[in-house]
Amino acid sequence: MIREIHVEKVITAVKELCIESNCIISPDIEKALHQSIPREQSEVGREVIGQIIKNAELANIKQMPICQDTGMAVVWIEIGQEVHIVGGSLEEAIHEGVRQGYKEGYLRNSVVGDPFERKNTNDNTPAIIHYEMTLGENLCITVAPKGFGSENMSRIYMLKPSDGLEGAKKSIIQTVDEAGSNACPPMIVGVGIGGNFEKAAILAKKALLRPVGIYSPKPHISAVEKELMQSINNLGIGPQGFGGNITVLGVHIETYPTHIAGLPVAINISCHVTRHASKIL
């Protein structure tokens, strides 16, 4: 049976998620930050993490943005094949939800309408939307605002198959090392390996949505995630770049089949906030 969902419900959900994701840190990241304090060897690093936690607590209490860069809205839509959107366009409803959320939440408008003319759209639209068709009659919406302090540090490498696992690990470590303090560590590192140019990048972005502390279900990939986390934390960048051994809270790798001649590796770095919130309609 087809289930109808009116666009007004989508607008309201997106609006609320924009505000929630920008003002309330997710429980997994909050937990990871608390757990990282006793593991941080630097006294300054421990103090920095404490200030990060305090900032997040105040943002929640006061319903204010955790960070002044409230990001470009990235919206993930998982829509069941039994769902029928009524009352208008789903895509326009998503943009309208972002528009209302950024206005009502007093969130910074950071989107320019043209990459060269640089005129602000004044409502943080358009959003970047990713669609995925699923089974069932539900519509799952995830809003993941992405600031560009960390986004600018992201990279994609089109490696040769002969570069193999070692080449992929080298590229990931190099990317984080070059990012340094610019991505506001401790970071979450999303990695997409396989597919093609655009698939790897989308995988890397989606990897950031995985809860911190949850490793890949593939044993050989989870082993690499743990190894990379240790290697990156040994770089000595530390919280906010002040030095220390907690540079990343998690390294999340997603993989996909690829061409016999390719080994795409995309790295999407995110800051200690890594904002995201979801709702099922």
Q: What is the mean pLDDT of residues 9-32?
A: 96
Domain residue extents for the chain: 3-21+66-145, 148-273
Contacting residues for 149 by C-beta, under 8 A, at least 6 apart: 69, 182, 183, 184, 271
What pLDDT digit, counting tens, does each position of 182-229 carry? 999 999 999 999 999 999 999 999 999 999 999 999 999 999 999 999
Spatial distance between the Cα atoms of 75 and 216, rounded to a whole number of angstroms: 23
| Fold adopted by 148-273 | 60s Ribosomal Protein L30; Chain: A; (3.30.1330)
Average pLDDT score over residue span 251-261: 98
Alpha-carbon distance 245 to 101, whole Å? 37
- Mean pLDDT, to the nearest integer, of 72-99? 97
DSSP character string of 238-263 = -GGGSSSS-SEEEEEEEEEEE-TT-E
Looking at every residue in the chain, the average pLDDT score rounds to: 97
Task: Please calculate the CA angle 41-229-238 and round it to the nearest 5 degrees.
Answer: 35
| Whether the predicted pLDDT of 1 surpasses 90 | no
Tell me: the pLDDT tens digits for 145-187? 999 999 999 999 999 999 999 999 999 999 999 999 999 999 9
pLDDT mean over 122-130: 98
